[in-house]
Amino acid sequence: MNQKTPLFELHQQTGAKIVPFGGWDMPLHYGSQVEEHHKVRRDAGMFDVSHMARVDLHGKGVRQFLRCLVANNVDKLTVSGKALYSCMLNVRGGVIDDLIIYFLRDDWFRLVVNAATRDKDLAWIEDQAKQAHEVEIEPRPDLAMIAVQGPNGRDKTCVALGDAVKGATADLKPFSAVEINDYFIARTGYTGEDGFEILLPNERAPDVWRALQRAGVAPCGLGARDTLRLEAGMNLYGADMDDDTTPLESGLTWTVAWEPKDRDFIGRQALVKQRERGVTRKLVGLLLLDKGVLRSHQQVTCAAGRQGEITSGTFSPTLGRAIAMARVPAEVQIGDSCQIEIRGKRLDAQVVKYPFVRHGKSCLPELRL
């Protein structure tokens, strides 16, 4: 029996197609995944992301604990509400999960982790916390989470939630959060568009969802969420990286804080060693030049017979072309041609820089709309 979010009944009433995802019954779409995708790129859409796990860490020892637990450095967080994206690594440098860390107070940080990895993450965090001092772990299943995304997302959220929220979020910077009334509102997201992620008490979620809908925010499912995040060049845990791949092999080197050198985070030694030896694989973007659709696990053949594999692929509704992220040998360069095997045929593709799309516009010079 899968878990259900506080918005499940509303989704059903709205005609959502429900699919199992990470142990939850979640909306895939409410009619057309592609229309929902465009709605987010052009106006405003919302996603029920209550399946993602929220975990609060309390205590005087939390900052020190996080310095060790994650590869990015929480000392970058000095202003209350500021958020940090990071990977949590095992000792081999493999990614246990990617997460967002919010700094609330010196004795209070909030983590948002993936639904499918929740139990694994919590077990790992609890295990590590045994050696830490003054760290208390509090999962927050009492909170729901709604992501409102799109160029009009913030304005429409303010219409729906009223003047207090409007005032509190007026100067909110990207990757920052603020607490106002029952809401914890962060200017974060997973689509490449501006917007908010709103944490709120479960029992308030249906009313807020309805208010957002009245304000013109379209319900969107996990289907659109996936095409939007892939266009935005954002990794998906379990597809683009996992326990056996490191951030350096996953386009996430930017999330690893090497300085200060004496911050001995879990996985650091493995990453340093890998960096010294040279990374042999990396994540690149692919644009299919022929007609077709790129999918995960399709084989990629690059110059000199170098072999790679697609980790995430889809049809990009914004570009009208198939795009993908692929793990390929490190020698492969942006601009290289490659071939993808699809149903026994070899189709031409090009290695490109990602993100593919940001703020509604193509980032690919060859596809400027």
Partner 1 sequence: MSAIPEELRYTKTHEWLRMMEDGHVEIGITEHAQDMMGDMVFVELPEVGTAVSTGEDCAVVESVKAASDVYAPVGGEIVEVNSELADAPETINQDPYQRGWLFRLRPADPAETGKLLDSAGYERVVAAES
Binding site for partner 1 (CB under 8 A): 17, 28-29, 32-34, 223, 227, 291-293, 295, 314-315, 317, 322, 343
User: Which residues touch 323 (CB under 8 Å, ≥6 apart)?
Assistant: 230, 231, 285, 286, 287, 288, 294, 313, 314, 315, 316, 354, 356
Cβ distance to partner 1 smaller for residue 105 or 291: 291
Show the tokens assigned to 237.
């845990």
Q: How far is the CB of 41 from partner 1 (least distance, A)?
A: 15
260 burial class (0-12, 13-18, 19+ CB within 10 angstroms)? exposed
Sign of CA dihedral 51, 87, 308, 231: positive
Cβ distance to partner 1 smaller for residue 233 or 267: 233
Cβ distance to partner 1 smaller for residue 159 or 293: 293
Q: How far is the CB of 295 from partner 1 (least distance, A)?
A: 7
369 burial class (0-12, 13-18, 19+ CB within 10 angstroms)? exposed
Cβ distance to partner 1 smaller for residue 177 or 325: 325
Cβ distance to partner 1 smaller for residue 261 or 291: 291
117 burial class (0-12, 13-18, 19+ CB within 10 angstroms)? buried
CA 329 to chain centre: 25
- CA pair distance 147, 188, nearest whole angstrom: 8
Cβ distance to partner 1 smaller for residue 223 or 233: 223
- CA pair distance 247, 105, nearest whole angstrom: 28
DSSP bridge pairs for 361:
358
Cβ distance to partner 1 smaller for residue 195 or 317: 317
Q: How far is the CB of 26 from partner 1 (least distance, A)?
A: 14
Bridge pairing between strands 45-48 and 218-219: parallel
Cβ distance to partner 1 smaller for residue 17 or 204: 17
Tell me which amino acid residue 56 is: D
What's the half-sphere exposure (Cβ side, CA atoms, 13 Å) at 271? Answer: 30
- CA pair distance 330, 308, nearest whole angstrom: 10
DSSP bridge pairs for 54:
112
Q: How far is the CB of 29 from partner 1 (least distance, A)?
A: 6
Cβ distance to partner 1 smaller for residue 69 or 342: 342
151 burial class (0-12, 13-18, 19+ CB within 10 angstroms)? middle
Bridge pairing between strands 143-149 and 95-105: unpaired
Provide the 3-class DSSP secondary structure of residue 202. helix
Q: How far is the CB of 142 from partner 1 (least distance, A)?
A: 33
Q: How far is the CB of 85 from partner 1 (least distance, A)?
A: 26
Q: How far is the CB of 84 from partner 1 (least distance, A)?
A: 32
Q: How far is the CB of 224 from partner 1 (least distance, A)?
A: 9
Cβ distance to partner 1 smaller for residue 45 or 292: 292
- CA pair distance 149, 224, nearest whole angstrom: 11
DSSP bridge pairs for 195:
149
Q: How far is the CB of 187 from partner 1 (least distance, A)?
A: 28
Are 114 and 234 in contact, with CB atoms under 8 Å apart? no
Q: How far is the CB of 35 from partner 1 (least distance, A)?
A: 8
